[in-house]
Structure 1
Amino acid sequence: MNTTAKRNHLALDLLSFISIVFLSYILQDFLIPLIFAIILSVLIYPIVQFFESRLYFNRIVSISIAIIIFTFIIFAIFVLIGIQFEEIMNKSDAYYKQIGQKLTPLLAQTEQSTGINSKDIVGDGNLGVKEIVKKNSNKIVNFITTSGSILGDFVLSPLYMFLFLLYRNFLVSFIYKITTGISTKQHTRVILQQLYKVQQNYLLGLVSVMAIVGLLNSLGLLILGIEHPFFFGFLCALLLLVPYIGIIIGSLLPALIALATKDSYWYAIGVIGIFGFIQFIEGNFITPKITGSKVSLNAFVSILSIVLFSMLWGIPGMILALPITASLKVLFDHSERMKPIGFLLGEAKQKYFSIKTMNRLKTWKKIRTKKNKKLIN
């Protein structure tokens, strides 16, 4: 009977999981801005609380000011990026020619060794960047169309943020009511507090890590003498929103600029090497120290969650993967049935030894125990 019940529970859990994934995919246009709004509400809540408790502003006024400040910061960042990109694109044809001149010897060697015509690889060398854009205009339009949902998320998210912050007490009371009979009010409060701390630690840690990584990237580019070092340094740091993959994308553009403007190929290799080294330091030292153990997810689960959420929701899924997975870990840790999964998601803090080492440790413990008994006797 117990075996049958376990099988029924397993089948029900599997069916529930499939249903949740299916609904998440179908309702992604609704869920993505909603989840963004929840996470960003956690980020600006301390500002709202400051205006309400310290300055004694009305709740609506406090929320409005906080959202306006946040929106202005995001808007200013995008404007600065747009201005800098426009300046780079004005020089794009010159960069293209310089890169072509440096790649010509390599292509000639490739042609001699493989027999492949260099024109088959890069096409006509006189083709400018602007002409490439014109010829691929259909692809660009399709990309903008598919990215429209992302822009829509940023339009809807501020509205959801306002409503979440305005009705926060009402929503918490609702959660208490629906968990009555399943969990005590105190236990529910503990879970909500931990969820809040997880998101807050992740967001504040991410901002701090971006600032440090951006500064390190900029200093590295400055030492190499690459154009626009602070722009590329902090742009790459901003792409940390897409973990593991963002830093790779962010290093390609300054590497191409280095290839176009410098006399040696080693500058481009140096850019990639510096960014890779900083990524190593960030992943192994900076992020674990700053973000803290409350957001701890092991590396395998982090990469797996990014891959799976990118398959489910695309680029927004890659950004939301870690905060969602960290929140699920909190929920699993407080569920008796899901505790093993919560354990699997967390960091592996145990030290693992080979069988031979384990046997040596057991022998050493036995010897120590016998010695201690002799001393007692």
Structure 2
Amino acid sequence: MKTLTNNSQMAYNLFCFIAIVFILYSLKPFIVPLLFAILFSIMMYPIAIYFERQWRFNRIASSLMVVFLLVIIFTGLFTFIGFQIKDVIGKSELYSEKLNTLNLEILQYTENNFGIDKKQLLSDKSLKIENLIKNNFSKISDFITESGGFISDIFLVPIYIFFFLLYRKFFVTFIHRAFPKKDNAYLNIILKKIYQTQQNYLSGLSVVMLIVALLNSFGLLLLGIENAIFYGFLGAFLLLIPYIGILVGSLLPAFIALITKDSVWYSVGVIVVFAFVQVIEGNFITPKITGAKISINAFVCILALVIFAMLWGVAGMVLALPVTATAKIIFDQIPSMKPYGFLMGEPDKDYLRSTAYNRLANWKKIRAQKMNRISH
């Protein structure tokens, strides 16, 4: 009977998991902008409180002021990106000529070292640079289609942020009423942990991104890379995608260096700069600024990135860590879900030691206990 109950519970959990994944995938256009609005609301909440306490703004005025500030920040950001992209597009013919020259040099090297006829490669239409864009036109169309959804989110997210800040106490009361069997203090502890974790993570990440952007830009300026500040800030912005963001951010300036400089070592230098900054960021900058605020182990982080990328694409990769961190906090507070919270957390040093080391440590501990008994 107990086995049947356990099997029924496992089947129920599996059904719930499949249902949740289906809902998250199906409602992506609704859930993703809502989650981004929640994160921005948490990040900007201290500013709203500052307006209310220091400047005596009412709730509506403070919420509007926060939305106005966000609009100004993102308008300036998109304007900067637009001018940089316009500059890159203006040099597209020059880049194309240098890329064709580089292509011919590679084909000549291939013919000299591997005996492959250069004319045969040039006759292959699929290898011509002008056909690369044609062959990938469907991907470009998909990107434009997704951009349409992104543009609609630009108008929805500020509205969501305004109402989240305006109705914040109303939503908290709703949570208390939605779980009447739970003690209010217990629910407040969970909400406070979620808020503090997200607040520290988001504010710390903003500072880290600014520092990394300055370091990237300085390194690219030393190498003489065109649009160094733009690529430096782009690489820092991609820190929103853990682990792989900095790698993706280094590829574009490395490619630009390859086709604009007279030596391949400039491209190598770009990758070295980004790798060096990544090492400094991971080992010194982030631990000092954000600390271990999101205590999720690296394996779970990678799994979360893969799963959320499959569900929501690039937006899912950005949201993966905040959502996973929130899930861990909730799991840690629910007795039946604590094993999953434990699995998502950082393991202690004892779990990372080898079996032989553990046996030696246990042997020393037992031997010390025996010696204490003999001495007494």
Are residues 1:275 and 2:281 paired?
no
Query: Would the alpha carbon gap of residues 132 and 13 (structure 1) be closer, same or farther in structure 2, given more than 3 Å must change?
Result: closer
1:199 equivalent to 2:184? Answer no
Q: Does 1:236 align with 2:240?
A: no
| Counterpart check, 1:91 vs 2:91 | yes
* Residue identity matched to 1:300: F
| RMSD between superposed Cα atoms in Å | 2.2
Identical-pair percentage: 46
Deviation by residue 1:124-164 (Cα, 9 ceiling, x = unmatched): 57x5xxx9768866653432113322222222111111111
Distance 2:67 2:171 in 1: 20
Q: Could you give the per-residue CA deviations for residues 57-100 of structure 1, whole angstroms, max 9, x where no partner exists?
A: 12111110110111110111011011011112111221222233
Q: Deviations over 1:101-136 (max 9, x none)?
A: 2343322222341626442387457x5xxx976886
Shift of 1:291: 2.2
Cα 1:138–1:25 shift into 2, 3 Å = closer
Alignment match, 1:259: 258
2-structure distance, mates of 1:56, 1:357: 61
Q: Distance in 2 between matches of 1:372 and 1:62?
A: 66
Task: Kindly indicate whether the alpha-carbon contact (under 8 Å) linking 1:297 and 1:326 is maintained by their aligned counterparts in 2.
Answer: yes
In structure 1, what is the equivalent of residue 56 of structure 2? 56
What CA distance in whole angstroms lies between the structure 2 residues aligned with 1:136 and 1:367? Answer: 69
What secondary structure is seen at the aligned counterpart in 1 of 2:336?
coil
CA contact (8 A) 1:41 1:164 kept: yes
CA distance in 2 between partners of 1:124 and 1:6 (Å):
61
Cα deviations by residue, 1:302-340 (Å, 9 ceiling, x for unpaired): 111011101011111111111000000000000111111
Tell me how far 1:205 sits from its aligned partner.
1.5
> Could you tell me which amino acid in structure 2 is paired with residue 16 of structure 1?
C
Which residue in 2 is equivalent to 1:115? 116
Name the SS for the 1:337 alignment partner: helix
Q: Is residue 324 from structure 1 mapped to residue 323 from structure 2 by the alignment?
A: yes
Report what 1:333 is aligned to: 332
Letter in 1 for 2:317: M
Alignment match, 2:42: 42
TM normalised by structure 2 equals 0.92
Read off the aligned partner of 2:230 and give its amino acid letter. F
1:145 aligns with 2:145: yes
1:360 deviates by 2.2
What are the within-5 Å matches in structure 2 for residues 168-187 of structure 1? 168-181=168-181, 183-187=182-186
Q: Which amino acid aligns with 2:325?
A: A
Q: What amino acid does structure 2 have at the position aligned with 1:25?
A: Y
**What CA distance in whole angstroms lies between the structure 2 residues aligned with 1:142 and 1:361?**
58
C-alpha spacing 1:221/1:4, structure 2 compared with 1 (3 Å): same
What is the match of residue 314 of structure 1?
A: 313
Q: State the Cα distance separating 1:361 from its structure 2 match.
A: 2.0
Does the CA contact (< 8 Å) of 2:126 and 2:132 recur in 1? no
Q: Which residue of 2 aligns with 1:2?
A: 2
Distance 1:366 1:132, change over 3 A: closer
Q: Match for residue 245 of structure 1?
A: 244
TM normalised by structure 1 equals 0.91
CA distance in 2, matches of 1:30, 1:231: 31
Aligned to 1:301: 300
Measured in 1, the distance between the counterparts of 2:353 and 2:136 equals 55
1:357 partner amino acid? Y
Could you tell me how far apart the structure 2 residues matched to 1:341 and 1:136 are? 42
- Aligned-partner Cα distance in 1 for 2:200–2:219: 28
* Contact 1:259/1:265 (8 A) holds in 2: yes
Give structure 2 stretches of 5+ with no counterpart: none
Which amino acid in 2 is paired with 1:299? A
The one-letter amino acid paired with 1:255 is A
SS of the equivalent of 1:295 reads coil
2:154 alignment partner in structure 1: 154
Distance in 2 separating the partners of 1:298 and 1:135 = 40
Secondary structure class of the residue paired with 1:294 = coil
Give the drift of 1:260: 2.4
Counterpart amino acid of 1:147? S
The farther-off stretch of 62-71 and 221-230 is 221-230
Q: Take 1:146 and 1:222, find their aligned partners in 2: how far apart are those partners?
A: 33
Give yes or no for contact 1:150–1:316 (8 Å, CA) kept in 2: no
Residues 89-98 or 108-117, more deviating: 108-117
The separation in 2 between residues aligned to 1:58 and 1:103, in whole angstroms, is 63
Mapped to 1, the partners of 2:212 and 2:4 lie a distance apart of 53
Distance in 1 of aligned mates of 2:353 and 2:135 = 59
List gaps (5 residues or longer) in structure 1. Answer: none
Residue 101 (structure 1) aligns with: 101
Q: Give the match for residue 367 of structure 2.
A: 367
